[in-house]
Amino acid sequence: GEDVEQSLFLSVREGDSSVINCTYTDSSSTYLYWYKQEPGAGLQLLTYIFSNMDMKQDQRLTVLLNKKDKHLSLRIADTQTGDSAIYFCAETVNDYKLSFGAGTTVTVRA
Amino acid sequence: SQTIHQWPATLVQPVGSPLSLECTVEGTSNPNLYWYRQAAGRGLQLLFYSVGIGQISSEVPQNLSASRPQDRQFILSSKKLLLSDSGFYLCAWKASSETQYFGPGTRLLVL
């Protein structure tokens, strides 16, 4: 199946950690991605994880993958105002296509 | 390095008018190319993708069409725009075994 689900909104205080969750349905997905979209802009690839990994860390970003539950999460440590954006989870459908979630709007409050 | 361009950045068109949006990629050869639409407050909908010159796959039936006249050029067209065509149109490219990279987008408002 091709159905990626995310919660629509997340509000977090500046300096706290943000955790954005995603569930997917296709157990054969080889890669899972997180993209960031700032207002009025295109999507920027933040990070990705190969399906045989459980965790990937890149500076303030930590991706956790639970293949059994088909659950992907993105943790942003020390959230800053510049992290306010829409975050999209995506899974590979085949060699050509990705399936995207609806996006989680993260609002960072002072 | 690779770059992707889209133009125009913003477009306001009357209902029933034609449309042509252009996307070009630099710094890569034979990429897969994609057109997505993002309606206000919603996720991404894949409209078309192309794996080579003249090869177009349509994902959603609608009054839009796509063409790929050159290796690194992807065009989204319509003969007659509808109000429901308003949205943010994103082009993306992908090299083999890599992820998709997105352009800056074109905001289309149909009045």
Beta strands, E only, chain B: 3-7, 10-13, 19-26, 32-38, 44-52, 55-58, 64-70, 73-78, 87-94, 100-102, 106-110
The string over B53-76, giving b where at least 16 C-beta atoms fall within 10 Å of a residue's C-beta and e elsewhere, is eeebeeeeeeebebbbeeebebbb
Chain B residues closer than 8 Å to A94 by CB: none
Indicate the length of chain B as a whole number.
111
Chain B residue whose CA is closest to A100: B44
Name residues 79-108 of chain A within 8 A of B (Cβ): 88, 95-98, 100-103
* Residue A3: CB atoms within 10 Å: 11
**Contact by Cβ (8 Å): B87, B78:** no
The partner residues of B106 in beta bridges, in order of sequence, read B89
pLDDT in tens, B36-46: 999 876 789 99
Q: Which of B43, B96, B99 shows the shortest C-beta gap to A101? A: B43
Residue B51 touches partner A, C-beta closer than 8 Å: yes
B83 vs B41: CA distance, rounded Å:
16
Mean pLDDT in chain B?
A: 93
What digits encode the pLDDT tens for the residues A53-105?
Answer: 999 999 999 999 999 999 999 999 999 999 999 999 999 888 888 999 999 99
Report the half-sphere exposure of A103 (CA within 13 A, side-chain side). Answer: 21
Distance CA B46, CA B59 (A): 6
Q: What is the pLDDT of residue A1?
A: 41
Cβ atoms A21, B84 nearer than 8 A: no
Residue A23, CA distances (Å) to A1, A15, A65, A70, B73 in order:
12, 26, 10, 6, 34
Residue pLDDT, tens place only, A26-65: 877 789 999 999 998 999 999 999 988 999 999 999 999 9
Distance (Å, rounded) from C-alpha B1 to C-alpha B12? 32
Q: Which of B24-33, B46-55, B90-99 has the lowest mean pLDDT?
A: B90-99
Nearest CB among A42, A96, A101 relative to B102 is that of: A42
Decide if pLDDT at A21 tops 90.
yes
Give the pLDDT of residue A2.
Answer: 53
